[in-house]
Amino acid sequence: MPGSRIELLWFQDCPNHEAAEALLRERMAALGVDVPIVRTEVPDEATGIQVCFPGSPTIRVDGDDVEPGWTPCTECTPRCRLYMTASGLRGLPEAAWIDAALLASRRRAGASD
């Protein structure tokens, strides 16, 4: 997937950012995606505003949040993020969301070849 950009945005006090990175790496390996993860620490509100930070952990593929239907946040302070999953509120996105984002990126990359 040349040209793809995979990001992990996080802040130091988040108890879920390491698990999010492990999940992301697992899903990338399962789908054969070999792209570096761009890790961005968000230590303060100014950085949060600059990167439109909805909380930690945030995973983006090609600039799009993996959470379906996500809309940009108005408050971008470093804080924990909760996802409304099929199992209720969780500190990690669903693996299926990550897969869908990675596969969509692969399709876009294939269409531009």
The predicted model gives 15-27 an average pLDDT of 97
In a domain, 98, yes or no: yes
Quick check: helix, strand or coil at residue 35? coil
Is the bond leading into 54 cis (omega within 30 degrees of zero)? no
In a domain, 1, yes or no: no
Please answer whether residues 102 and 28 qualify as being in contact, where contact means their C-beta atoms are separated by less than 8 angstroms.
Answer: yes
- What is the band of 4 on the pLDDT scale with cuts at 50, 70, 90? confident
In angstroms, the Cα distances linking 97 to 22, 71, 77 are 15, 15, 24
- Into how many domains does the chain fold? 1
Per cent of the chain over pLDDT 90 is: 81
In a domain, 56, yes or no: yes
- What is the band of 2 on the pLDDT scale with cuts at 50, 70, 90? low
Contact partners, residue 45, CB within 8 Å, separation at least 6: 76, 77, 78
Between CA 110 and CA 63 the distance in angstroms is 18
In a domain, 37, yes or no: yes
Domain hosting 76: range is 6-111
pTM of the predicted protein model: 0.92
pLDDT, tens only, 29-87: 999 999 999 999 999 999 999 999 999 999 999 999 999 999 888 888 899 999 999 99
What would the two tokens of residue 28 be? 């990338």
